[in-house]
Amino acid sequence: MPQLNRRALLGAGAMMLAAPAVAQTWPDRPIRLVVAFPAGSVTDTLMRHLAEPLGRELGQPVIVDNRPGGSGVVGTESAARSPADGHTWVVLSVTNGALNTYTIRRLPYDPIRDFAPIGFVAETAYILVVPASSPARDLRGFIEHARASRTPLTFSHGNSSALIASATLARLAGVDMMPIPYRGGPEALTDVIAGRIDSTFTDFAAGMPQVREGKVRALAVTLPQRFSLAPEIPTVASVLPEFTFDVWFGMGVPAGTPAPVVARANAALNKVLADPELKERLARLGYAPRGSTPQEFQDFLRNQITVLSARAREAGLEQQ
C-alpha cells in the first residue's frame, strides 16, 4: 500500500507539473469552433466575426464548424464527445445551453456536467416579424388579428429559444397559435417572407435587412427597452408588460480540459471582446459583447436553466 501511495503521489505530481506545460504549448493546431446551428443563423453570424480575431490572439486559426440539427443537439453532443484538449470549442446559447434541458426529453448532453465554461460572449435581441402582406401593423393589431382568426395563426421557429419566445407571447396575449418547426432560423424567416407563415421571432442581424427592404414588417423587440439601432420598433413589454426574454451566447470546451488551458482561452476571449473596433462592428449587427470569468458564466448558465425551464412550463410546452 505505501508503494502504491508513493506511485499515486508521483503520478499526481507529474500531472500537476504537466498541466502548465500543456497550457504553454496550447494551441498547437487549429481550433474547431462548433456552431450547432446553420450558416446564417444568429449564432453563426456572431462567431464568424469572432473567429479571425480569436485566431490572431491565440496564434492558430479558429475554424467555424456548423453542425446544425435537433435544435442544436447534434453539434453540441459532438462537441461534448470531443477530446478535452482545448482544440474544440462550442457555443453555448440560450437554446442549446439552457432551454434544451427542458424541451428535449432525452437530451444526450448536460450543459453543466459535459462542458467546462470559457466565458460569456454577447447578448442580442429577437424581433417579432410578420409578412409584408399581414393586416397587422403593430403588436396590438397582431393580437387582435389572432383573436379574430377562425384558425390559429402560425409561427415558425428554428430553435427552442424562438419557440419559447412565441409561445410566451401567445400565452400572455391569451391567443392560440400553432408552432411550425424549421431546421434553423434562416429557414424559419424565409417562409414568413414568402407569406406562408404568420410570424416568427428572428434575430436582429438576420431580420432587420429584410425589414428595411420591405420584405417583412417588424412589430416588436424582445428587449426591455427600445433598441438603439432601431428605435422605431416598440418593445413587446410595452403591450405585454410581463414579457421578458434574453438572447445570449457563451463559450465552452469539453469537460476535463486542463484548467490552465481554460484560463488562457478565457483571457484570449475577453481580450478580443474588449477590442473597441470589434465592439462597434458587432453593435451595428445588434450584438452587445460582454466578457466574464469561467465561473461567472457557469453561474449564469445554471440560473438560466432554472429560469427558462420554469418559463417553458408556464407556456405549456411539451418535451420532445
Confidence at residue 228, expressed as pLDDT on a 0 to 100 scale: 80
pLDDT at 5: 57
Handedness of CA 17, 115, 38, 139 (dihedral sign): negative
Structural domains in the chain, CATH included, are 30-123+246-314 (3.40.190.150), 126-238 (3.40.190.10)
What is the C-alpha separation between 126 and 201, in angstroms, rounded? 6
Identify the residue with better confidence: 18 or 148: 148
Could you tell me the pLDDT band of residue 7, with boundaries at 50, 70 and 90? low
One-letter amino acid identity for 51?
A
What digits encode the pLDDT tens for the residues 121-132?
999 989 999 999
Instruction: Return the amino acid letter for 204.
Output: F
Statement: residue 318 has pLDDT above 90: no
The upper half-sphere exposure of residue 229, i.e. CA atoms within 13 Å in the direction of its Cβ, equals: 22
Residue 10: pLDDT band (50, 70, 90) is: low
For the cut 60, the answer to whether the pLDDT of residue 235 exceeds it is yes
Q: Residue 2 — very low, low, confident or very high, per pLDDT cuts 50/70/90? A: very low
316: confidence class by pLDDT, cuts 50, 70, 90: confident
- Residue 168 amino acid letter: T
pLDDT tens digits, 175-225: 999 999 998 888 999 999 999 999 999 988 889 999 999 999 999 999 888
Residue 78 grid cell = 459532438
Per DSSP, the residues of the chain read -HHHHHHHHHHHHHHHHHHHHHHHH---SPEEEEE-S-TTSHHHHHHHHHHHHHHHHHTS-EEEEE---TTTHHHHHHHHTS-SSSSEEEEEETIIIIIHHHH-TT-SS-TTTSEEEEEEEEEE-EEEEEETT-S-SSHHHHHHHHHH-SSPEEEEESSHHHHHHHHHHHHHHT--EEEEE-SSHHHHHHHHHTTSSSEEEEEHHHHHHHHHTTSEEEEEESSSS--TT-TTSPBGGGTSTT----EEEEEEEETT--HHHHHHHHHHHHHHHT-HHHHHHHHHTT-EE----HHHHHHHHHHHHHHHHHHHHHTTPPP-
- What percent of the chain is predicted at pLDDT more than 90? 74
Mean pLDDT throughout 76-85?
Answer: 98
Distance of CA 69 to the CA centre of its chain: 14
Grid coordinates representing 19 are 498541466
pLDDT-derived band at 1 (thresholds 50, 70, 90) equals: very low
Asked if residue 85 has pLDDT above 80, the reply is yes
pLDDT in tens, 153-182: 999 998 888 999 999 999 999 999 999 999
Q: Examine the pLDDT at 248 and tell me if it is beyond 90.
A: yes
**CB neighbour burial string for 146-185, b if at least 16 within 10 angstroms, e if fewer:** beeeeeebbbbbbbbbbbbbbbbbbbbbebebeebebbbb
CA-to-CA dists, residue 142 to 130, 135, 232, 261, angstroms: 9, 8, 17, 50
pLDDT grade, residue 40 (50/70/90)?
confident
Cell for 50?
469572432
* CB-CB contact of 235 with 245 (8 Å): no
Q: What does the pLDDT read at residue 24?
A: 78
The larger pLDDT score, comparing residue 246 to residue 50, is at 50
| Nearest to 52, CA basis, from 241, 247, 281 | 281
When pLDDT is averaged across residues 67-85 and rounded to a whole number, the result is 95
What pLDDT is attached to residue 4?
Answer: 47
Sign of the CA dihedral 209, 276, 39, 52?
positive
Quote the pTM value.
Answer: 0.81
Q: Is the pLDDT of residue 9 over 60?
A: no
Q: What confidence tens digit (pLDDT) does each residue in 56-70 have?
A: 999 999 999 999 988
pLDDT band at 268 (very low <50, low <70, confident <90, very high): very high
Diameter over CA atoms, the chain = 81
Q: How far apart are CA 300 and CA 320, in angstroms?
A: 25
Distance CA 309, CA 317 (A): 10
How much is the pLDDT for 11?
Answer: 54
